[in-house]
Every structure is written in C-alpha cells, then in structure tokens.
Amino acid sequence: MSEEKLRQDSHLADSLNADASSPNSIIPRLQQALATCSQLIEAGDISKSNELVVELVDFLNPISVSVVEDASNVELETTAFEILTEIDRFISSPSRNQEVTDALSFELPKVVCKFACASKRCSEIAELIVGHLVSTCSPRDMLSILCAALSSPSETFKVPCYFAPLIGGLTKVIILIQRRQFEQVKTVIPVILGVLKSVSLEADDEDKDTEELFHKAIGLAESIQAVCKKLEQKDKKKLCALLGLFVLQLMALASIAMGRNISSLLPIVLYLSRFLPLCGISYEGLITGPDIDKFKSICGDGRDDDMACFSHVKHGGSLAVIWGYKSNEVSMAADEDFEAVKNELQMNQTKRWQAIGMLKHVFSSIDLSWELKTHALDFLFCIMDGGATVEIQNDNMDYYTYMPTLYTALQAIEMVIIYAPNAALRKKSFDALKKVLADVPSSLRFDILKALIQNNECSSMIAILLDCFKREMLEEHSRSISVTSGVSEAEVKDPPCASFWSAGALELVELVLKPPKGGPPCLPEYSDAVLSALNLYRFVLIRESTGKTNYTGVLSKDMLQKAYNEWLLPLRTLVTGVVAENQNDHDQLASDAICALNPIELVLYRCIELVEDNLKHA
C-alpha cells in the first residue's frame, strides 16, 4: 500500500476519534470510514480493515449512548436515523462486495440495534439492516452473531427496542438453516428466553415495546414451525417438542410481563394457543403434567442445564388451560373442548390432584399478577365442584404418592391467603384451601394439616390451620355420633374415626405453646397462633371431660400436669410480664400489644381453671 494511502488511513482514524459533538460532521466521517473499510477489504488488507471497523464501532458507540440517555432530544434522534440510513444505503448497494458485507456483519447488528432505541422509525430501519445481512451472509455465521449481540448488551441497552431487530433477524435465519436444525434451534432458544425473562421482570404494564417483543418471539415460533414441516419424522418430533416447550415458556413470560394488562395479553395468548395442537399438546396433558414431562424427555440429554431455560413451562402449561377456561376463543384456538376436560378432572380424582399440583406454580409465583391468580382460583373451583371425593379403602400407597404434591399445592394457596391485597381474594383462597382439603380422604387429611402447621412460620396462618383442625374434629365427632346412634356417648370407648381425635391434637397445641426451639412463644408476634392453640386445647378438654372420653389423652394425669407446668404457667408468666412492660407506655405499639394479649389472658386463665379442676379428680 502507498505511503499516501497510509496517511489517509491515519487521518481517518484521527477523525473518528475526534470530538463527535457536531452532528454535521458525523455522517461524512461515517461515509468516509465505510468507504475506506470497503477499499481495504477489497485490497485484501484484512488486518487494517478490522482495526478500522473497531475504530468505527468505538466512534458510533458514544453517540448511541447519548441518543438513549437523552431520548427527548429530537436532533439526536435525527442523527441516529441518518446514521442508520447511511449504513443501510451502504450495505444494500447492488455493487457492494460480499466480502465487505461479511466483514461488517460481525459488528453492525449490535451497533445498529443500539440506534434502534432512538425511535420507531430507527427501529424499523435497524431491522432492515439486520434483515439484509441475514439474507446475504452465511446463516450459520449470522445465527452466532445475532445470538452474541442478544447476549451481551450493556445495561443501557437492555431494553425491548434493542432486542426486537435481533429477534426479527433470527426469525429469518432459522428458515435458512439447512442442516442440524434441531441443534441450531436448541442453541438459539435459551438466548431468546433469557432476554424475554429479563425484559418480563422489568416490564411496565403499558409498555408497547415489550408487547412488540413478544410478537417478534411468536414470529420465531412460526419459523420453527415452518422448519418442522420440512423435516423427517424423527427430527420433526424432536423439534416439535422443543417448539412446544418454547411456546409454554413464552406463555408464562408474557403473563409475567403483561399480567395486569389483559387486553394486550389476550391476543398473545391466542396466538400461542394455536401452536398447541400443532405440537401435539392437549389441555389434559398440560394440566396433569405428562405432556411437559414427555417433551422435556425428548429434548433433554439427561442434563438439568439442558432444560434450565424452560423454568416456567409448568406455569405456562397451567396458564394455557386457565385461559382456555376463561375464553372460548382461546380454547377454540387450541382446538380443545374445555367442557370435556373439566368433566374428566371432576370425575377422576387422580387427575384432579395432578391438576392441583400444576396450579401451585401459578399460586406460588411472586411474578404473576393477582388477577391471574384469581383466574387460577376460579379454575380450581371449577374442577372441584361436582368432583367425586373417594375415601381410601384399598391401595393406600397409590394415594400416598400424591400427598407431597397436594401438600406443596396447599402451601402455595397459603401464600395467596397471606399476601393477597384484599379481603375478597383472601377469602376466596381460603375457600380454595378448604376445598382441596375436603378432597383428601380424612385419614390423610390429618397428616397434611399437621405438616402444614408444623412447617409454618406465619402466626395468622397457623391460627387459621388450627381452626381448620378444630373444624375437622367437630365433623369427625359428628360422624362418630352418627355411627354410634342409639348408644350413649359415655359408652363409646373408641371413636369409629380417630384421625383427629388422637394425641396428634395435643402435639399441635404443644408445637405452639412450647415451640421446639425452646421457651414460651414470642408475644405479641405470635398472638394469633397462641390464642388459636389455647382455644383448641380448651375445646378438647371440655369435650373429653363432658363426654367422659379420653381419645386424645388430654385427661390423663401426666398430660394434665405437663400442660399445666410446661405450657400454661410459663405462658401466664410471659403474658403478665409483657402486659406489665406495656401498660405504662402510651404509644400505639404498646396499646396494640395489650389489645392482642387481652383475649389470650381470658382463654389462658380459663384453661388453667379447667386443668386444676380435672387434676383434682385425676
């Protein structure tokens, strides 16, 4: 290369590194840089051309940052549009050497997508540039380049308008891949889902850019579907399974991003539901779980990290069916008869329990809106109403295998009860909890309730569960009276149904009044739980004394002494001390503490009186 040419290159580098504050100087410098790059590449000076491309990127990056940081600056938006227009004009020129386009394709997608953040028209022209690169460069290379650009934006550019042109480019690339399509798509999907997940967690309900991004992702799903149609049966099965998981994950992420803006979310759900029959997915298979497990098995290689990007597919599967319940249009798009699915769940207890287990993913999610959780509760009532509850008589172990699922589902419903923003939703979720408990045979209901109480740290929730336990004791007592009709209660030595009328009731009382970690319970923090435990103990003591029974062992001398010395007297000392500490204070906290302890005092002293009376006759 001549010395004159080297001096020109040096001058160009100095020019690119110079102050770019003058908008009028940016476009000429960009034109000069692009032209020089082209000349160097055509001349075979790859090393020098690569250096110049890096300098060009370094020149444009600060400008793109300024455009984003000062989004209201009309002059900067115009500059961004002119930069993109010049780049588009340059690479789309019919006379452009392919080697030049290939060299620029490694850096341009990331650069132009940064300028896409300036405005809608900038985003459109950025997508044109990416589309041109996709159509003229190697599909395999562009797939890697676009994935790298999606994976590595700075914090400034982690916004939907940066990602949209890149996802649009991948939509076109997928169609062009001719070999190992499943492996290539499996490489792309985690990148796309990672982007959508981060955007979803930061999304604003009215963010149109986020909505547009999900429509781009649906376009990618359509491209995968088109590829599926061209494959042989074995490869088609694998890619369809991958598409199914992708669609369900999109269903969940879209619900997270737009769960409070149903008018925008519903069209996306409608689009996604159309993929379900094409992938061989049914509502029943989703809500009971086997379709998801089957697809994970088909797509995975036995490693957990293979499926890590599909962390929300069970949320998506549940939501897909819930939307079919809420909207006839959605169920029609999924080619499903929802009434038939509902009837099957109502009549088949095993499938109903599996469905309850799937719904827990919606109830326990901190990212899904309360409106969607309300829909999930409505769906739960729908499948529980008219259901046939079957008491266990044979094959107990088959039923026991579902207990962990029901237990975790009830824990998820507890989260709705505890954190729901209004009383109506709290009541609805409590009714749902009672419905699920009622669906469990009584011999297992005791174990589940006990586990829920033992593994709970919320005082109010413990109180609610103890009240449920007390209600179960009352119902069990009523059933016992019915069975022994015509026989005096005093003559019934053993209750026909003894799940709740057993020593387990006193174990729960002790769990609250004498916590396993030692010492009396914390007051006033655990006032609700303590009051409920005292009421349960008083109820058991009075009922057993009146009926002259001792199913729970509450009337044995040792048990009375234990309750008196280890539960009630230490609690009396604690309550007296807390009241004394607060009665001279006149602030609101002290007043609230005394108010919380007043009902405890009343029930506590009544329990002490009852124990003392029974000890006299023990």
| Distance of alpha carbon 225 from alpha carbon 247, whole angstroms | 11
Instruction: Tally helices (H) and strands (E) across the chain.
Output: 31, 0
| Distance of alpha carbon 356 from alpha carbon 425, whole angstroms | 18
Q: What are 50-64's pLDDT values in tens digits?
A: 788 888 888 888 888
Tokens representing 422 are 């209004």
| Distance of alpha carbon 225 from alpha carbon 609, whole angstroms | 75
| Distance of alpha carbon 214 from alpha carbon 97, whole angstroms | 35
Q: Is the peptide bond before 139 cis (omega within 30 degrees of 0)?
A: no
Instruction: State the pLDDT at residue 465.
Output: 96
Instruction: State the pLDDT at residue 253.
Output: 96
| Distance of alpha carbon 601 from alpha carbon 241, whole angstroms | 62
Q: Is 403 in contact with 443 (CB distance < 8 Å)? A: no
HEC string of 526-564 equals: CHHHHHHHHHHHHHHHHHHHHHCCCCCCCCCHHHHHHHH
- Among 141, 38, 16, 137, which Cα is nearest to 90's? 38
Helical pair 23-42 and 3-16, crossing angle rounded to 10 deg: 140
What stretches in the chain show pLDDT beneath 50? 1-21, 388, 390-397
| Distance of alpha carbon 149 from alpha carbon 168, whole angstroms | 13
| Distance of alpha carbon 535 from alpha carbon 603, whole angstroms | 7
Tokens representing 312 are 């929300």
| Distance of alpha carbon 534 from alpha carbon 537, whole angstroms | 5
Q: Which residue has the tokens 């409608």?
A: 270
Tokens representing 481 are 């009276």
Q: Is 247 in contact with 253 (CB distance < 8 Å)? A: no
Phi-psi region of 395 (alpha: psi -120 to 50; beta: other; left: phi over 0): left
**Is 90 exposed, middle or buried (CB count within 10 Å of its CB: 0-12, 13-18, 19+)?**
buried
Tokens representing 558 are 């040792």
Tokens representing 180 are 């190992």
| Distance of alpha carbon 322 from alpha carbon 375, whole angstroms | 7
Q: Which residue has the tokens 């001096």?
A: 7
CA distances from 157 to 64, 143, 356 (A): 10, 20, 40
| Distance of alpha carbon 521 from alpha carbon 531, whole angstroms | 11
Is pTM beyond 0.85? Reply is: yes
Q: Is 515 in contact with 529 (CB distance < 8 Å)? A: no
Q: Is 608 in contact with 571 (CB distance < 8 Å)? A: no
Helices (H), 231-348: 233-258, 262-273, 275-278, 283-288, 290-299, 313-326, 328-333, 338-347
Beta carbons within 8 Å of 541's beta carbon, 6+ residues apart: 554, 555, 607, 610, 611, 614
Residue type, 246: F
Residue type, 272: L
Domains of the chain: which residue ranges? 457-481+498-616
CA distances from 52 to 35, 44, 79, 98, 203 (A): 11, 14, 22, 18, 38
| Distance of alpha carbon 178 from alpha carbon 128, whole angstroms | 23
| Distance of alpha carbon 155 from alpha carbon 144, whole angstroms | 21
| Distance of alpha carbon 190 from alpha carbon 186, whole angstroms | 7
| Distance of alpha carbon 490 from alpha carbon 168, whole angstroms | 79
